[in-house]
Amino acid sequence: MDVSTVAARSNATLVPAAAQASLSVRVVPDQSIDGIAASLRAHIEHVFAEIQTQRHQAGSTLDELRLHLDVKPHAHWWLADPETPVYQAAAQAIRKVWSDAGGSKEEAVHVPLLIREGGSIPAVPWLESFFAPHAVAVNLPMGQSSDNAHLDNERISLENLMRGRQIIHHLIQDFKIQ
């Protein structure tokens, strides 16, 4: 969970009358989005009630504080099945493209590393369920840890982009042959 924005409208020399914050919560497989939202809401309301109590005990005569919580649209988690023929073909394409990079025979074996990133991309679970059972979603990341994904100066190396293109080409060719 992270706080993605905090905003308040006021003169810089005054305590603002209103403030707003946006939270981003990432979920993992088997987590209930509704359950997480309910737990987060309960916690925030509890903390807010404690603040109200402390203000009353301190004899505050200021206006009552008000809390308004909105749960915005959300994406369900997604977990791939690496045992499907599509994933096996993708793994083969990755090995082929990255093994063609040269180097010694020992260095040429590139086994794809299955990681759990991109599991909250909103369209993926929807696409997979919409086209089921005829399609399997495959997330082929083409970046690396130094790419600053979703941050300032986000980038992807040209080599990774071109190899990603080759991987997709091999994957499509493999399915054309079948």
Nearest residue to 67 via CA among 97, 95, 91, 43: 43
The predicted model scores a pTM of 0.65
Which run of H or E residues covers position 132? none
Rounded distance between C-alpha atoms, residue 136 and residue 110, angstroms = 23
In the chain, DSSP assigns E strands to 2-8, 19-24
Give 55's Cβ-side CA count (13 Å radius). Answer: 13
Per-run averaged pLDDT (10 residues), the chain, 178 residues: 84 81 85 91 93 85 81 81 90 88 58 73 84 84 84 90 94 82
